[in-house]
Structure formats: structure tokens, C-alpha cells
Structure 1
Amino acid sequence: MNEQIDQLADFLDRHRNVLVLTGAGLSTASGIPGYRDEEGVRRGRAPVQGPEFRRNDAVRRRYWARSMVGWQTLAQASPNAGHRALALLEKAGRVGNVITQNVDGLHLRAGSSRLIELHGNIHMVRCLACERRQHRAALQERLLSDNPAFGDVLAQPLPDGDAHVEPESLEGFIVPTCDDCGGVLQPDVVFFGDNVPPERTRQALQWMDDADALLVVGSSLMVFSGYRFCKLAAAAGKPIAAVNAGKTRADDLIGLKLALPAQEVLPAVAGLLAVT
């Protein structure tokens, strides 16, 4: 383990503009469940698809009921040592920019500033009709007020504030709508089946083009929006390192891989580089 950490510290020391790509595995130490097992296989049922959410009342009911029950897991989560170490490495100039596939907002809370939240931030909600935005925490109060029978439901937490609530228990659940125009509310995230906004994609690809190396942290890279950065780095001859406990889609492209917990590796690397 110590030798691998030394190698990662040397990787960051040799490359002055390292782009960091993070995924759900970084946030599991903060109590947020990950999407996949160590083989990269998705756990549980398929996630909500964006097109279905927008056209189907029943899908929205299921989403908001599950979100109301599971929200507390996200609301109580705090940045872990891995998030904090990355923020320190960024401030010290040991890494360049950070792109996260996570929607939990923990990088921002840890102090990362050169950051793209590729899939958005679940702590905000927007109206699809008038584009009014509001904080998810405020909407939670309304959900609980409108649906008191669900307030004490116990359910297994799932990734990104979801929870396992049986479909037959959703009858009578009141779905929130926009206070201003009555429009459909959606968390300000990129659902599965939807595309990352073009400007966000352009900025992320520019950061990859500018970088001289790529560090992947806590991502299986099974989703193409993350995997593409490894493909681009490899095509440009840029070295790739990864800290991920399990298999990734890009294992054949990664030159240095640490199958170790990010919350242990990143603070150790920051210490070796005298970043405090």
C-alpha cells in the first residue's frame, strides 16, 4: 500500500496540470450508497429515466416519494477525508481542475473551486416550465407537510437520496409542482437517458484538452460521460491513474491503479506532498 501511495504522489508531482474525475465511490465514506459493486455491476432496480419522468405522472410520484424518504441521507452527509484532501491538493496546485459525476454537492462543501458538477447538483430543484430554482431542503418541508403519512416511513437508502419504497404504498402521495406556475419540478440533475448540457460538456472537454494527466477517483467509468475522458486521455498519450476499489471500464487504459479507499489514499498522498 505504501509503495502505491508513493507512486501516486510521484504521479502528481511529475504532472503539473492533473485533471481529476470523481465518482460515487468517493462519497460512500460519507454514508451515500454507491451505484455499483466491485465488478462494476449496477445494484438494485434501474434508475429513473429522464424522458419517463417528464411524461409520466406515475414515475414522478414514485421519484418524489422515494426522494422524500431518502433525502435525509443526503442532507446529513458531510465531505469525507477524500473530498477534503482533493480540495487541499487543488489549492496547493498539485491538481488542476475537478470534474465530478456526483450530484451530492460534497466537493463544493469541501472547498473545491475549479469544479464542474457534470451531472448537476441534487440540492437544487428547477421548474421545467418557468425555470424557477429552489433549494431541495426547502422543498422537503413542503413534501413532508403535504404527505405526513410518509414522514415516518423507514426504507433502505439508495444512491443520490433515493430510497426503496414499495410502489403499492404510493397511492395518495401528493407530487410537488411549481409555486409560481404549477409546472413540473425536477431535481437539477442530469437523469439517466438525458444529455449533459452542451456548455458544461464543452468546458469539461476543454479541461481534458488542457490537462497533462488524468486521475480517476471512485468511479467504475461504466457510464460513457465519465469513460470518455479516459478514452480522450489515452488517445492523446496522457497518463491515467486511478483510485478505485473495484473494476473499471478503462482498466486497460489505466497505467497506475490503486484498489484502495480514496478517503485513506488521498490524505496520505497530500501528506507526502506536504499539502496541509
Structure 2
Amino acid sequence: MIDAVTSSPRPLPRTTPVPLDALRSLLDGRRVAVLTGAGVSTDSGIPDYRGPDSPPRNPMTFQQFVGDPVFRRRYWARNHIGWRHMDSARPNDGHRALAALERAGTVVGVITQNVDLLHTKGGSRSVIDLHGTYAQVRCLACDHRISRFTLHERLTGANPGFAESAHATTGVEVAPDADAVVPDTDSFVVVDCDRCGGMLKPDIVYFGEIVPRPRVEHAYALVDAADALLVAGSSLTVQSGLRFVRHARKRGVPVAIVNRGPCRGDALADLKVEAGTSETLRGLAGGLPADGN
């Protein structure tokens, strides 16, 4: 049995238990666009920012990164330790279920707010990485891009023994966005673009940055091509994801939300499922063959 709330019409409806069949019924016969957040990846070992069991976290803003060398050094030191954890993460049942639903023709594509590439690793073909991915780094001056692995080699050369020391001193506690908790970062050496000497930044949309307009338009087009919108594992706290729910509602497209805890878009949903994403998406996929890693 899955706990859910239904909304008709506004205000926010009360919570009532309904079977998974209610979600299947809402989506049955419809082409579904999917919007995912960090809750989809927690079962792959990647923590989220706003889940009910998550500790308080303060993500770095774009202004801090570009305007304060201390913040920037702290970020790269932590990311130097933590990014390989994200790189080694593997898709879970939720990622594989969405890929199976896409192959079956039910899901038209995934818009993800995550930067972990797990939808692609899980076999999904039509994926819009709304906030970019951890795997690339770009120069803010000349726009030259390099892989995160290439930068790792450069940072290792500039900071011999740093990773080993951090592991020996504290172990590794990984936080969201591919960084790790490293208390002492004062000695870390940051490297710049090897082409122009400009500032390097992960090719990720930070808090305070604007998602590139072509990417946003692509996501709107995906929602427009669908007959329903399914939100999975997102609290919809930030506008970059919530706008697609509002867009679907304006079009009269049914919206279903699967997430533990309250969401900013609950009042816009036709159905809210209070449950984990992995088991719910696996239930939706039913007996469809899985793929991916």
C-alpha cells in the first residue's frame, strides 16, 4: 500500500492511502515526461539536500565561488576527494525502471535536476541534464572544457599526498554535488585553465546561476510533447524545476508527484505519492525488462 494525496481542485488535499493502481491509472495510455530530483539517487548512495532525514546543508553559491578565493579553494579541495564517489555510483531500480518505461514508449524523456549522470548510466536515452553534470569542467574566461578526470590528474600533481592525508585524518563523508567533508583545506592548491589561465568551474549550474536558455526550452518542449508529467524525488524547492510543473498545470496536463515529505508543488498535483522513488518506479515498470548497469 502506498500513501498518497489527491488534489482537486486547489487547495492542498489531505493525505489518504491509495494503491499503486491510482498512479498507474493516472498515467495509463499517456506519454509521460519525467522530472527527477535528488531523491531518485539516494538509493545509489548519493545524499540529497532536503530529504526528511538529511542534515542541514548550505550549498555553495555562484557568487561565493567566483568572488571568494577561500570558498573556491575549499570547494576544489572537497571536490577533489568526493567526485570519485559520485563517479563510481551505480543506477538503482528507479533509474532502471525509467529506462524500461522509455523503451516501452511510456516515458518520452527525463528532465533531471541531478548532476550524477545516473539516468544515462541506467539506460535512459532522452535525458536533459538541467543543471549540467559533474563530469565536465569549463573555463569561465575562454569556455574551454576538460573532463573532470583530467582536472583530477592536474590537481593531484599540484597537491601530492592531499587525498591520502584527508582519508587518513577524517575518513570520507560525502555530501551532495560530488564534494566531501574535508576540514583542513588551507594548503590546497587550485589550478587554472591551462589554455588562458582563467578560472575553472564545474560545468554545473550553481545556486544563483541561470540555467542556459536552450536547455530550458528543450525541457519545455519535452513537457509539451507529453500527456502527463511525473515528478520523482524532488521537493521542487527551486524554481528551475517547479516551473515545469506550473507549465504542465497551465496546459491542463495531469501531474503526479512521488516524493517523501512535502513538496512545493503539492498543491499543483493531481496525485501525490508519499513513498520512495525506487520501489514506486519499479512498481510502475512492472515486468518490463531492465537494462543499464
CA offset digits 1:201-237 (Å, max 9, x no partner) = 1111222233221100000000111111111222222
Work out which of the residue numbers 14, 26, 29 in structure 1 matches 2:40: 26
More strand by share: 2
Q: Does 1:138 align with 2:150?
A: yes
Q: Does 1:211 align with 2:223?
A: no
1:122-271 correspondence to structure 2 within 5 Å: 122-152=134-164, 153=166, 154-166=171-183, 169-271=184-286
Residue 113 (structure 2) aligns with: 101
Q: Which whole-Å CA distance do the structure 2 matches of 1:66 and 1:238 have between them?
A: 42
Q: Which amino acid aligns with 2:278?
A: Q
Q: Which whole-Å CA distance do the structure 2 matches of 1:110 and 1:231 have between them?
A: 28
Q: Which amino acid aligns with 2:122?
A: A
Residue 11 of structure 1, CA deviation: 2.5
Aligned residue for 1:102, secondary structure, equals coil
C-alpha change, 1:143 and 1:8, in structure 2 (3 Å) is same
C-alpha change, 1:113 and 1:246, in structure 2 (3 Å) is same
Q: Which whole-Å CA distance do the structure 1 matches of 2:269 and 2:148 have between them?
A: 37
Q: Which amino acid aligns with 1:37?
A: G
Q: Which whole-Å CA distance do the structure 1 matches of 2:281 and 2:197 have between them?
A: 46
Q: Which whole-Å CA distance do the structure 2 matches of 1:275 and 1:65 have between them?
A: 41
- With normalisation by structure 1, the TM-score equals 0.92
Residue 151 of structure 1, CA deviation: 0.7
How many residue pairs match? The answer is: 270
Listed as ranges, the gaps of 5+ residues in structure 1 are: none
Q: Which amino acid aligns with 1:125?
A: V
Q: Which amino acid aligns with 1:225?
A: S
Moved more, 187-196 or 202-211: 202-211
Given that 2:34 and 2:229 are in contact with CA atoms closer than 8 Å, whether structure 1 keeps it comes out as yes
CA offset digits 1:7-53 (Å, max 9, x no partner) = 222233231x21100000000000000011329xx743421111221
Q: Which amino acid aligns with 1:30?
A: S
Aligned residue for 1:205, secondary structure, equals helix
C-alpha change, 1:258 and 1:275, in structure 2 (3 Å) is farther
Given that 1:116 and 1:200 are in contact with CA atoms closer than 8 Å, whether structure 2 keeps it comes out as yes
The structure 1 segments of at least 4 consecutive aligned residues displaced by more than 6 Å after TM superposition are none
Given that 2:36 and 2:231 are in contact with CA atoms closer than 8 Å, whether structure 1 keeps it comes out as yes
Residue 59 (structure 1) aligns with: 71
Q: Which amino acid aligns with 2:272?
A: K
Aligned residue for 2:266, secondary structure, equals coil
Q: Does 1:38 align with 2:52?
A: yes
Q: Does 1:83 align with 2:71?
A: no
Q: Which whole-Å CA distance do the structure 2 matches of 1:95 and 1:130 have between them?
A: 38
Q: Which whole-Å CA distance do the structure 2 matches of 1:138 and 1:78 have between them?
A: 21
Residue 275 of structure 1, CA deviation: 5.4
Q: Which whole-Å CA distance do the structure 1 matches of 2:43 and 2:146 have between them?
A: 28
Aligned residue for 2:174, secondary structure, equals coil
Aligned residue for 2:125, secondary structure, equals coil
| % identical aligned pairs | 48
Aligned residue for 1:123, secondary structure, equals strand
Q: Which whole-Å CA distance do the structure 2 matches of 1:209 and 1:19 have between them?
A: 9
More helix by share: 1
Q: Which whole-Å CA distance do the structure 2 matches of 1:263 and 1:56 have between them?
A: 39
Given that 1:12 and 1:95 are in contact with CA atoms closer than 8 Å, whether structure 2 keeps it comes out as no
Moved more, 90-99 or 43-52: 43-52
CA offset digits 1:109-146 (Å, max 9, x no partner) = 11211111100011111111222211112222322232
Given that 2:257 and 2:266 are in contact with CA atoms closer than 8 Å, whether structure 1 keeps it comes out as no
C-alpha change, 1:7 and 1:45, in structure 2 (3 Å) is closer
Q: Does 1:118 align with 2:133?
A: no
- With normalisation by structure 2, the TM-score equals 0.86
